[in-house]
Amino acid sequence: MLCSNSPSRLAKTNYYVCNPTTKHYTVLSKSVLETENCKIHGISLAFDPAKSPHYKVICVRDSVSSPQHYQIEIYSSQTGPWRLSGDPFIADVNFSKGVYWNGSIYWISTIGNLTCLYYNLEFERLGPMPHFPDDQGTTIAYFGESCGHLHITKISFYTVRFDVYEMKRDDSEWFVKYKIDFDHPYKLNYYNFTILSLVRGKREEDAFLVLAAPNDDKVMKYNLINKTFEKFCDYDVEDEQVFYCSTIGAFEYIESLCCA
């Protein structure tokens, strides 16, 4: 897991990579661009224990040399300190929501036309992704990866019927993977649930959504094939409004003995 000691995005924030299984952690060294007012726009962890015990951290921050531009830095657990990658650039995406998939970090915009951008770690190259279908009156409800699949979901403000899209492995296009219609028995409204995660399994019938439903004080599991609900767990949060916020996140936990 990639953690920080402060919600601030200034360069003075400390970042840590920790392994919950071994309870080991590493404090990342300071950036080569560290200045008091240099804003960090996004920082993402790239790690696949099936391919390598090493990880990389990708940071997108203000460029020092080019105003109104971004700069990418990379930290590698194998080679050590931060280093610059590529030239300063301009982009209209949300760098705080980076997703690691297929050897790249992916970012999307969350307002206006859906812009998609990826950064390939092997070649250290930025590139555009295919545009998402333009659905008027919708908002991003989920963007994430599971078991080698990249998904995105947009939900209308006035319906609980929506599609889950998946990106083709060659980055060529989005296609509809699942069609969702939340009806009986919970009759969820568009305003009272949050998609925490989409989990794929070894079998197609194992795929499910994890949903937070504040009105019911429950986290629920929705099977995408059988179209059935079951309670995952109860939760006890003093301020239930937290579940309406975009800051909530859920992460798949995979045990690994790789050192942080």
Percent of the chain with pLDDT over 90: 38
Cα distances (Å, whole numbers) of residue 250 to 123, 246, 259: 30, 11, 22
Supply the pTM of this predicted model.
Answer: 0.86
Nearest residue to 61 (alpha-carbon basis) of 11, 116, 17, 106: 11
pLDDT tens-digit series, residues 202-259? 899 999 999 887 666 778 899 999 988 888 887 765 545 444 444 456 777 766 666 6
The CB-based long-range contact list for 185-194 (8 Å cut-off, 24+ gap) reads 185/229, 186/213, 186/216, 186/220, 186/229, 188/160, 188/213, 189/160, 190/155, 190/156, 190/157, 190/158, 190/159, 190/160, 191/244, 194/141, 194/243, 194/244, 194/248
Which stretches of the chain drop beneath a pLDDT of 50?
Answer: 185, 239, 241-247
What tokens appear for 120 in the block?
């390939």
- Structure confidence at residue 5 (pLDDT): 80
Would you say 115 and 109 are in contact if contact means Cβ atoms under 8 Å apart? yes
